[in-house]
Amino acid sequence: MEEQAGGLFLFVAVALVFAQIVLRVVFNIGISGVYELATFSATFSVLLTASLGVKRNTHVRVDILRNLLSRRGALVLETVVQVLMLTVSLALLYSGWLLVDESLLFGDHTTGTIEIPMWAPQLIMPIAGALLTLRTLQRILSLIRTPDAVLQSPTPGAVD
Amino acid sequence: QEIVFKLAHEAPATAIKGRTADLFAELVAKYTDGSVKIEVYPGGQLVPTVEEIRAAARGQVDIIAPYTSYYSSIDPLWDIFYQPMLFSSPKQAMEVFSGEIGQKLLANLESRRLKGLAIWHDGPVYTFTTDKPATTPDVLSGMKVRVAPSKPLESMLSKAGAAPISMPATEVYLALQQGTVDGVVTTPTYAAPARWGEVLKTMTRALWGVGGYGVAMNAKSFASMSAEQQEGFLRAMKEATEWNQAQTLENIAKSESMLKESGMTIVDLTDEQKAAWMPLAEAVWAEQSDDIKAMIDTIRQ
Amino acid sequence: MWLSLGLFAGGALLGAPIAFALVLAGFGYMLVAGDYPSSVSAYLFATLNSSTLLSIPFFILAAEILNQSGATRSLVKMIDAWIGHNSGGLPVVAVVAVAFFSAICGSSAATAAAIGSIMIPEMIERGYGRRFSIGLIAAAGGIGILIPPSIPLIVYGMVAETSIAALFSAATLPGIALAAILCAIAYVVGRRTETARSPRRSWAERVTATRRSLGILFLPVIILGGIYSGIFTPTESAAIACIYALLLAVTVHRVSLTALPRMLTTAAATASMVMLILAAANLFSYGLTAERVPHAVFEWLMALELDRWQLLLGLMLFFVLAGMFLEVISIILITMPILLPVLAASGIDPIYFAVLLVVNMELAVITPPIGLNLFVISAVSGVPVTEVIRGAVPFVAVIVVFLLALMYLPGVERLVLSW
Ligand code: NA
Ligand code: NA
């Protein structure tokens, strides 16, 4: 799901910037705020897809220590890393939630023709935190159930 | 025990804001006997410019001095700085914002957990082009003009038939050089150090607004000082602000002569040309909220 | 400060994703500094949400569309038809492509992602060493901030109040020279590698292969033409590249639009990894800046009152160190205001110095612990980051020697400033 959404938002961002060029060059129209919408869209794409990297274990990691360890050691290490990631994900969820709350209170919006209240795009932060938490939990679960399969999952960096 | 405050701003340390901030830091140390220390972070190195106001409200940084236009995102009254053809001169604008109107804008920040401290000045907002000077709306018609997001300025451009283009500051130099945009609306004090004079040909001194900075502080940080420290702190702010005002006109003149040296033609409006702009400006004023309209009336008297 | 360094190093060495280790360090710093916890999210959001970074996911998408539609394959076939019989050819083409692309887009991370995903698998498949292929692309990606247009040079001009046109002109020759040096290395190493050579092709075959890849060959023409005729900005050119690649896929390569979602999701996945590391690295450097670590080291260096040659050396060492943790624009903003009067006093031309600084910054993106190009290339090629680092080492040496030559070879300064 977040995969499709991530791709879609990337497409929307490209389309918005393209539309801005066409409006300016062909119709001599400038609308401030289109850039903001495009960057919001690209940011959504990045943050929604981040959890997918956890699910597929494709985020860039350093594997020195793991390569030195036995199977048992690698399992312990992977558990430690997953718990660490769970902590970061939960912290992001909390921090993102506070950010949205803060923006609701602060009431600021983007300047220019299109005024977007900041809390709206910032909702992506707690959503991303929640998705990351979910995916990390899933990985921990499968680490418990099928440790060997998880340990042999794709090399870091590889995209499916 | 020493209190340390972080003052973050986006201008180069050498710009008038950077120099005012450094002077302020010096004066605070002097008037509080070194018990309050201000660490200045110029050039937006600490927080992104768009984040400054929120970072101060949150207490991540203590003191900020963003362009007044950034405050429009929390209080539309700040749009008063960018009402075209409203101010008669940069000097008059300084007097306006030293008075009641300035105090009101700063006091309103309290609802955002901020203490408004002062308004520092920068320079007049003029139109610059790569071709003919923008003396009348006809000249500007059909042009693409880069402007930092601001409702009244964008509206003024649209009314002249120009397309207001928003674009990151770092891309403007190239965009002017290659003709992606035909002009900019900015202050000579920004254009000169940014070297836009190398790629612009004309500056038209029609006063579309006045550039300035709202100096504000996290309310809790302010309250963390003793009454004595607060007194020294505010005295330092008052003197730094006076220095800023005394320097502003000189700084504008210096920037203009820098632009002239790089080959720029500087044009003033004739009464006739000014008359051609007035209906557009009045139409922009008419679009403002009642509060701003009241301010406009006060300023015009 | 030490806490955040420790958290990052610990997290990264344990094998946590780099981005997570950096965010962990960010949380650690904010916690100690007593910042409100929302500041981490706020900082990440504000960094990701910058319009100057927008071109990175766009160029990644353009490359993905070209790859999946087969446009890249036709380009590689064409290159092979012309120079496949010569084993030094492909690496040279790779360097030229990377230098050219990065010169246009000005972002070494976007270049490494876009061209790396095309060229690295091809070079490895042909039998060029993994480390050599990776190191070459990583090093060449940095040339873009030297060859105009260059955002770091524009920022330098704004801060140092020097002519941007003069900066561009001064950086061009060293940029071309560095590209030429990398080409020479690529050729020599390539010749000595046992690769699967193709037979020499006839002219007719070459013309056919060229005709098949005309569409993709036209892409740089459109981008450069568009920028230099003022139709769009360098950042916007990334969106144009996507649209053009898509048109090419549909019209020339007969790809059905149903393939688009897959292109989008693959590109989004790569872009996400790259952008997260970028944003998290920025968050990490926030702690260093807020604690004034670079300021302190820098002021210490300034207080030493060194001779001109010593000062240059000291500054370059400082910039190498700073470049390991900070990003080029932050470095310019932090150091230049303090440095300008010092340069003036020591008689070092600020424009010449800008060239040294930017060459130095090419090291920053290919050196650990935070070397963005290293991470990006690991992400797009699937090669473990430790091996990418090993691949980059010889090229780090090359750039260091090049920098020393710029600093101390007699006559170089005059050549750079007035060629
Ligand atoms: Na470039
Ligand atoms: Na580095």
> What are the pLDDT digits (tens) for A78-130?
888 889 899 999 999 999 999 999 999 888 888 777 888 999 999 999 999 99
Which one of C38, C55, C286, C333 makes the best mutation probe of the B interface by having the most chain B beta carbons within 10 Å?
Answer: C333
Q: What is the pLDDT along chain B (301 residues), one digit of tens a residue?
A: 789 999 999 888 888 899 999 999 999 999 999 999 999 998 888 888 888 999 999 889 999 999 998 999 899 999 999 999 999 999 999 999 999 999 999 999 999 899 999 999 989 999 999 999 999 999 999 999 999 888 899 999 999 999 999 888 878 988 999 899 999 999 999 999 888 999 999 999 999 999 899 999 999 999 999 999 999 999 999 999 999 999 999 999 999 999 999 899 999 999 999 999 999 999 999 999 999 999 999 999 8
Q: Torsions phi, psi of A134, nearest 5?
A: -60, -50
Task: Return the pLDDT at B146.
Answer: 95
Is residue C243 predicted with pLDDT exceeding 70? yes
Residues, CB within 5 angstroms of ligand 1 (ion): C 103, 106, 144, 147, 150
Q: What is the mean pLDDT of residues C356-375?
A: 86
Give per-residue pLDDT as tens, C181-234: 999 998 888 888 777 777 888 889 889 888 888 888 888 888 888 888 889 887
DSSP state of C86: S
Enumerate the β-bridge partners of residue B187.
none
- Are C17 and A47 an interchain contact pair (Cβ–Cβ within 8 Å)? no
Q: Which residues of chain C make contact with B59, given a CB cutoff of 8 A? A: 35-36
Q: What is the mean pLDDT of residues C19-38?
A: 86
Task: Return the pLDDT at C342.
Answer: 85
Which one of A23, A37, A111, A118 makes the best mutation probe of the B interface by having the most chain B beta carbons within 10 Å?
Answer: A111
Which ipTM score applies to this complex?
0.89
Is residue A160 predicted with pLDDT exceeding 70? no
Q: Which residue has the higher pLDDT, C267 or C100?
A: C267
Task: Return the pLDDT at C178.
Answer: 92
- Are A81 and C27 an interchain contact pair (Cβ–Cβ within 8 Å)? no
**Contact assessment for residue A63 and residue B19, using Cβ atoms and an 8 Å cutoff:** no
Task: Return the pLDDT at B143.
Answer: 94
AA letter at A72: R
Residue A76 sits at the chain C interface (C-beta within 8 Å):
no
Task: Return the pLDDT at A157.
Answer: 38
Q: Which residues of chain B make contact with C328, given a CB cutoff of 8 A? A: none
Residue C337 sits at the chain B interface (C-beta within 8 Å):
yes
Q: What is the mean pLDDT of residues A11-23?
A: 95
Domain extents in chain C: 16-31+39-418
Q: Would strands B183-186 and B114-129 be described as parallel, antiparallel, or unpaired? A: antiparallel
**Contact assessment for residue C344 and residue C299, using Cβ atoms and an 8 Å cutoff:** no
For residue B276, the distance in angstroms to the closest alpha carbon of chain C comes to 30
Residue C242 sits at the chain A interface (C-beta within 8 Å):
yes
Q: How far is CA C243 from CA C65, C72, C223, in A?
A: 10, 16, 12
CA angle B211-B214-B220, nearest 5°?
170
Which residue is associated with the tokens 């040296």? B261
Cα C323 to ligand 2 centre (Å): 5
Shortest CB distance from B165 goes to which of A24, A102, A103?
A: A24
- Are C17 and A124 an interchain contact pair (Cβ–Cβ within 8 Å)? no
- Are A7 and C48 an interchain contact pair (Cβ–Cβ within 8 Å)? no
Shortest CB distance from B73 goes to which of A33, A102, A108?
A: A108
**Contact assessment for residue C83 and residue C89, using Cβ atoms and an 8 Å cutoff:** yes
Question: What is the CB-side half-sphere exposure of residue C315 using CA atoms within 13 A?
Answer: 31
Q: Torsions phi, psi of A153, nearest 5?
A: -65, 165
Question: What is the CB-side half-sphere exposure of residue C56 using CA atoms within 13 A?
Answer: 31
Closest CA to C320 of C369, C287, C280: C369
Confidence of residue C242 (pLDDT cuts 50, 70, 90): very high
Task: Return the pLDDT at C198.
Answer: 78
Tokens read off for C327: 């990003």
Which chains, if any, share at least 3 CB pairs under 8 A with chain C?
A: A, B
Sign of CA dihedral C55, C59, C65, C68: negative
Confidence of residue C7 (pLDDT cuts 50, 70, 90): confident
Cα C96 to ligand 1 centre (Å): 14
**Contact assessment for residue C280 and residue A128, using Cβ atoms and an 8 Å cutoff:** no
Q: Which residues of chain C make contact with A87, given a CB cutoff of 8 A? A: 24
Cα C147 to ligand 1 centre (Å): 5
Distance CA(B193)–CA(C334), nearest Å, equals: 17
Distance CA(A130)–CA(C110), nearest Å, equals: 29
Which chains, if any, share at least 3 CB pairs under 8 A with chain A?
A: B, C
Task: Return the pLDDT at C328.
Answer: 82
Query: C294-326 b/e with 16+ CB inside 10 Å = b?
Result: bbeebeebbeeebeeeebbeebbebbbebbebb
Distance CA(B69)–CA(B48), nearest Å, equals: 15
Q: How many CB atoms sit inside 10 A of residue C97's CB? A: 20
Give per-residue pLDDT as tens, C397-410: 999 999 999 998 88
Closest CA to C278 of C7, C18, C13, C3: C18
Q: What percent of chain C has pLDDT over 90?
A: 19
Task: Return the pLDDT at C404.
Answer: 94
Distance CA(C276)–CA(C26), nearest Å, equals: 13
Cα B115 to ligand 2 centre (Å): 40
Q: Which residue has the higher pLDDT, C153 or B134?
A: B134
Cα C372 to ligand 2 centre (Å): 7
Cα B16 to ligand 1 centre (Å): 31
Confidence of residue C139 (pLDDT cuts 50, 70, 90): confident
Which one of A23, A32, A61 makes the best mutation probe of the C interface by having the most chain C beta carbons within 10 Å?
Answer: A61
Closest CA to C65 of C372, C277, C271: C271
Task: Return the pLDDT at A155.
Answer: 45
H or E element in which residue B265 lies: strand B265-267
Task: Return the pLDDT at A153.
Answer: 60
Q: Which chain C residue shows the shortest CA-CA distance from B255?
A: C161
- Are C272 and A49 an interchain contact pair (Cβ–Cβ within 8 Å)? yes
Question: What is the CB-side half-sphere exposure of residue C380 using CA atoms within 13 A?
Answer: 34
Residue C224 sits at the chain B interface (C-beta within 8 Å):
no
Residue C385 sits at the chain A interface (C-beta within 8 Å):
yes
**Contact assessment for residue C181 and residue C362, using Cβ atoms and an 8 Å cutoff:** no
3-state DSSP helix/strand/coil % of chain A, to nearest 5: 75, 0, 25
Task: Return the pLDDT at A152.
Answer: 66
Mean pLDDT of chain C: 85
Tokens read off for B118: 């002062």
Give per-residue pLDDT as tens, C98-108: 887 777 766 77
Confidence of residue A158 (pLDDT cuts 50, 70, 90): very low
Is residue A159 predicted with pLDDT exceeding 60? no
Ligand nearest to the CA of C103: 1
Give residue B114's Cα distance to chain centre: 19
Shortest CB distance from B164 goes to which of A32, A109, A110?
A: A32
**Contact assessment for residue C316 and residue C407, using Cβ atoms and an 8 Å cutoff:** yes
